[in-house]
Chains A and B, each alone.
Chain A
Amino acid sequence: MFEIFEKAELAQGTVISNVIKAPSIARKAKPGQFVILRVNETGERIPLTMADTDPETGTITLIYQVVGKSTALMKSLNVGDAFQDICGPLGQPTHIEKIGTVICVGGGTGVAVLHPITKGMKEAGNQVVAIIGARTRDLLILEDKMAQASHELRVCTDDGSYGHHGFVTEVLKEYLDRKEPIAMIVAIGPVPMMKFTCKLTEGYGVKTMVSLNPIMVDGTGMCGCCRVTVDEVTRFACVDGPEFDGHKVNFDELIQRQRAYLEQEKQAMERFQGLRCQCKG
């Protein structure tokens, strides 16, 4: 069992941060790696990329948005409660080295995944610009941490309630148009955001890494549920990724595959909410 050490609600109760006791994972994990988690005995296995790890306290931090039954169930757990299973670290770590100027672009809860990579890029001696976005100001997460992890931080909201009014791609375009050398862009967020970021950067010929989030079951390469097409070849995101060259990813296929269980997901959520209401009497 993996005990919850701290719990915080980051954005209107829809984005939750859990600090969890998992010493052997905390000791080994590197930026970009993920865990597979199962809440309880009847739970499903879901992948979450680690937002932070602390080998000294033996804890890992997971930040997730409440989008369905499993994340709602996770949210219902409090400090002192425990997750049944956490398996990791899984996947390939981000390749971090000194390469020059790096722009880290994040959207929604993707910012949580982007944070340790941004930090790592800065620590490696790169000039780091971070551009983060959310639908509204209330949904924006980790602004302070991202400011610390970068040399320059730009914030966007879709509705203009804070920072730049519009998408992260618009701010990114400003930087690309300056014609200053950019060694790499790291884009992590909802698939459409990553897709449009890659479309933009392709025209400028700037290498763009993305972290993909397909549906997974085992996370160890034994089933192929997480398969994605990269450069016309089928790859398993859990062992070959989750990070890939964004200019080679078939995003439309990924978007479709993420929708495979929409109906069942809805059914599970409705059943869960029904059960919860009965509990409250």
Chain B
Amino acid sequence: MAEEVKKKEKIPRQKMPEQDPKVRARNFDEVPLGYSPETAQLEASRCLQCKKPTCVDGCPVQIDIPGFIKPIKEGDFSGAIMKLWEKTSLPAVCGRVCPQEAQCEALCILGRKEEPVAVGRLERFAADRQRTMGEFKLPEKAAPTGKKVAVVGSGPSGLTVAGDLILKGHEVTIFEAFHKTGGVLIYGIPEFRLPKAIVQAEVDILEKLGAKIVRNAVIGRTSTIDELFDEGFDAVYIGVGAGLPVFMNVPGENLIGIYSANEYLTRSNLMKAYKFPEYDTPIVLGKNVVVLGAGNVAMDSARTALRLGADSVKIVYRRSRDEMPARGEEIHHAEEEGVEMHLLTNPTRFFGDDQGRVVAMECIKMELGEPDASGRRRPIPIKGSEFTMETDLVVISIGAGANPLITATTPGLQTNRRGYIMADPKTGKTFKKGVWAGGDIVTGSATVILAMGAGRIAANSIHEYLMIGW
């Protein structure tokens, strides 16, 4: 054994066992099954423990990656989670949903000659291990500062801000409009990609640390931002996401069976409509489903439709495969499960029956022209190429916008042309004193980890403001 280590025999990147595509396409259980302790230790032993680790630069919240991998290798799993908690309050989430191939793992030195260390899988392992082992030590909090911070929205950025500031000794209250915390982690990302019990467990740790959570609180309606200051908060962080559904604006869009992805996923994930009638929220069960769009949300919608019993699920996208915004892994998983891709195709109208239910959709074929403002080649309709596609359920997943509830009720908060809040990217400060913003409500729809990164930056800036003034 010792001799083998000396020779530095190459250990391949450890695979993660997964549910079989045919089986998993019909259940809501998680697809990847996670590392065993032995596999995790083996994978951890691949890390070279670089003195100047480049991987950390690829992490938007700068997790000490070699620092948490070393204890895993040595079998000190609680040491690993303590190291992770220094920089993230959501390791079980990030280990699952971050696009590591474009972040930490993209910069792993091993990746130059062989495959990079599976940082995400190891992060997930450490967090899962802590959760299933039950007893653990909470991270240590700084002495109370007497300052109060309101965090509006309990999505990834809000939870990061709350987690950081509570450890720095501030009093933190999170306001959430829904009856459950987690934002997109709860209502958006499906159970088979991110089990809701895991999100709940990470939020529970925040509550154990002393963060107050007020649910059913729609800031902008139940209280305005200015009223929060009147109530005694010293600073406010706005992390309400980009939760406004975008529709196609084509005829027939209000037929029954045409959902925004937000509604479809909220019904299924948050309200557990997939367990109807055990749960009370119903959902239209399509046999012949079309999902419009090709981002991660579209893949989630398509895979949800399969699990709800669809015979056929089609992704209909107006550009080509190269422009699909979803993660490669998500597209791969969807195709493995049987989702069909219909590219360079765009709907022009929907047809319904006498009950007002969608039965078909007219599409037009597209070709790609010159690159547009987004740098992607612009799709142009091909005249006369219209054709009809039958469908009994359409999920529109072509993006999201900024909900104006808060910006419309908060004087002094400046927004850009598209309604997103303007904030300094280096600090998260908005144009209004004492108010920070971050995540999708500033950038438009992006990723979980970028929202967390924005939360980290804002938390540092809020801490400075509270301790030494602006």
Footprint of B on A, CB under 8 Å? 24-25, 28, 38, 42-45, 69-70, 84-90, 217-218, 220-225, 227-229, 234, 239, 253, 256-257, 259-261, 264-265, 267-268, 271
CA gap between A228 and B247 in the complex, in Å: 13
Query: Which residues does chain A contribute within 8 Å of B278, judged by CB atoms?
Result: 42
Query: Which residues does chain A contribute within 8 Å of B221, judged by CB atoms?
Result: 28, 88-90, 220
- Per the 8 Å Cβ criterion, residues 383-440 of B in contact with A are 403, 405
Of the residues B277, B403, B405, contact of A267 by C-beta under 8 Å: B277
Query: Which residues does chain A contribute within 8 Å of B282, judged by CB atoms?
Result: 44, 261, 264-265, 268
| B28: Cβ under 8 A from any A Cβ | no
Query: Which residues does chain A contribute within 8 Å of B356, judged by CB atoms?
Result: 253, 256-257, 259
Are the CB atoms of A222 and B215 closer together than 8 Å?
no
Of the residues A24, A42, A220, A228, contact of B279 by C-beta under 8 Å: A42
Are the CB atoms of B243 and A222 closer together than 8 Å?
yes
Are the CB atoms of A260 and B403 closer together than 8 Å?
no
A43-B280, A221-B403 known; A88 vs B244 contact (CB < 8 Å): no
| B85: Cβ under 8 A from any A Cβ | no
Are the CB atoms of A69 and B245 closer together than 8 Å?
no
CA gap between A261 and B280 in the complex, in Å: 11
- Per the 8 Å Cβ criterion, residues 196-229 of B in contact with A are 215-218, 221-223
Are the CB atoms of A222 and B262 closer together than 8 Å?
yes
Are the CB atoms of B245 and A223 closer together than 8 Å?
yes
18 contacting pairs across A/B (C-beta < 8 A): A44-B271, A45-B179, A45-B271, A69-B280, A70-B280, A88-B222, A217-B281, A218-B178, A220-B405, A221-B244, A223-B266, A224-B260, A225-B259, A234-B254, A253-B356, A257-B254, A257-B256, A271-B277
Are the CB atoms of A239 and B266 closer together than 8 Å?
no
The residue on B at minimum CB distance from A37 is: B216
Given contact pairs A218-B266, A220-B218, A253-B254, enumerate 4 new A-B contacts (beta carbons under 8 Å).
A217-B263, A221-B243, A221-B244, A227-B247
Footprint of A on B, CB under 8 Å? 177-179, 215-218, 221-223, 243-245, 247, 249, 253-254, 256-257, 259-260, 262-263, 266-267, 271-272, 276-282, 284, 355-356, 403, 405
Query: Which residues does chain B contribute within 8 Å of A28, judged by CB atoms?
Result: 221-223
The residue on A at minimum CB distance from B400 is: A222
Number of A-B contacts (CB under 8 A): 113
B264 to chain A, nearest CB (A): 9
CA gap between A259 and B356 in the complex, in Å: 9
CA gap between A170 and B260 in the complex, in Å: 41
B370 to chain A, nearest CB (A): 31
Are the CB atoms of A222 and B254 closer together than 8 Å?
no
Are the CB atoms of B177 and A38 closer together than 8 Å?
no
Are the CB atoms of A268 and B179 closer together than 8 Å?
no
Query: Which residues does chain A contribute within 8 Å of B243, judged by CB atoms?
Result: 220-222
A87-B216, A217-B271, A239-B405 known; A42 vs B280 contact (CB < 8 Å): yes
CA gap between A220 and B408 in the complex, in Å: 13
Query: Which residues does chain A contribute within 8 Å of B253, judged by CB atoms?
Result: 234
Query: Which residues does chain A contribute within 8 Å of B266, judged by CB atoms?
Result: 217-218, 222-223
Query: Which residues does chain B contribute within 8 Å of A239, judged by CB atoms?
Result: 405
B460 to chain A, nearest CB (A): 29
Scoring B216, B222, B277 by chain A CB atoms within 10 A of each residue's CB, the highest score goes to B216
CA gap between A221 and B253 in the complex, in Å: 17
B20 to chain A, nearest CB (A): 30
The residue on B at minimum CB distance from A46 is: B280
Are the CB atoms of A259 and B178 closer together than 8 Å?
no
Scoring A88, A256, A257 by chain B CB atoms within 10 A of each residue's CB, the highest score goes to A256
The residue on B at minimum CB distance from A86 is: B216
A174 to chain B, nearest CB (A): 35
A25-B222, A222-B244 known; A44 vs B281 contact (CB < 8 Å): yes
Are the CB atoms of B355 and A44 closer together than 8 Å?
no
CA gap between A205 and B221 in the complex, in Å: 34
Query: Which residues does chain B contribute within 8 Å of A89, judged by CB atoms?
Result: 221-222
Of the residues A85, A220, A221, A225, contact of B215 by C-beta under 8 Å: A85
CA gap between A85 and B245 in the complex, in Å: 24
Are the CB atoms of B277 and A268 closer together than 8 Å?
yes
